[in-house]
Amino acid sequence: MDIKVTTLDGKASGKVSLSDAVFGLDPRVDILQRMVRYQLAKRRAGTHQTQGRSDVNRTGARLYRQKGTGNARHHAASAPQFRGGGKAHGPQSRDHAHDLNKKFRALALRHALSSKVKDESLVIVDDAASKDPKTAALRGRLEKLGLTNALVIGGAEVDNNFKLAARNIPNVDVLPIQGINVYDILRRDKLVLTKAAVDALEERFK
């Protein structure tokens, strides 16, 4: 399929042919959902933890005499039912990540790219570069293109002035081609690819 290429100033810059194997799939929600769940689970710190009964340092002596009080026969103040005792079945530090094989992750990325094409939310620019690291100037250029909520994917290296200028623009993310991922694609309304990024993606999935 052919798609128009534009500059950041909104001027036409020709066309580029996109591979149907990368950008022309019929997006499947279940594949995208599994991939997003995989990414979010992997980034969880998993450091939540409470003290169990064995972690609480309290006396093991009987709280009162064995018989005659009408109370249950307790001998440890670290039991969960007592104030200051350990938490019963509380959360423990663990890794929340789970496995998805490499082929599935690559397939999910292709489905995410295809979903942007299907929604007409893909924009191809000739280059993502800026002469000066001025946020206000770059914001104005992006707003003219309707890019108020977008993910911009550059080539192997992102232009430093462009990256600095975009850093303070809300809802605009900038990543090199190595950092492209399903979650960031789906969380932004528009996906902006440079011609270098398109070439790198098609080379990657060749």
Q: Which domains does the chain have, with CATH numbers?
A: 2-44+99-204 (3.40.1370.10), 47-95 (no CATH)
Question: Mean pLDDT for each consecutive 10-residue tract of the chain (206 residues)?
Answer: 89 89 95 97 95 92 90 91 94 95 96 95 92 92 92 92 94 95 96 94 90
How much is the pLDDT for 135? 94
The contacts found for 132-140 with CB under 8 angstroms, 24 or more apart, are 132/161, 132/165, 133/160, 133/161, 133/164, 133/165, 134/165, 135/165, 135/166, 135/167, 135/168, 135/169, 137/165, 138/162, 138/165, 138/166, 138/169, 139/169
8-state DSSP, 189: S
What CA–CA distances, in Å, run from 203 to 19, 21, 155, 198, 200?
Answer: 10, 12, 13, 9, 5
How much is the pLDDT for 202? 92
**Strand, helix or coil at 63?**
coil
Q: Where are the beta strands (DSSP E) in 46-176?
A: 122-125, 150-153, 172-175
How much is the pLDDT for 10? 85
DSSP strand pairing (122-125 vs 12-17) = unpaired
How much is the pLDDT for 102? 95
29's enclosing H/E stretch is: helix 29-43
Cα–Cα dist 93/95, whole Å: 7
Q: pTM to 2 decimals?
A: 0.84
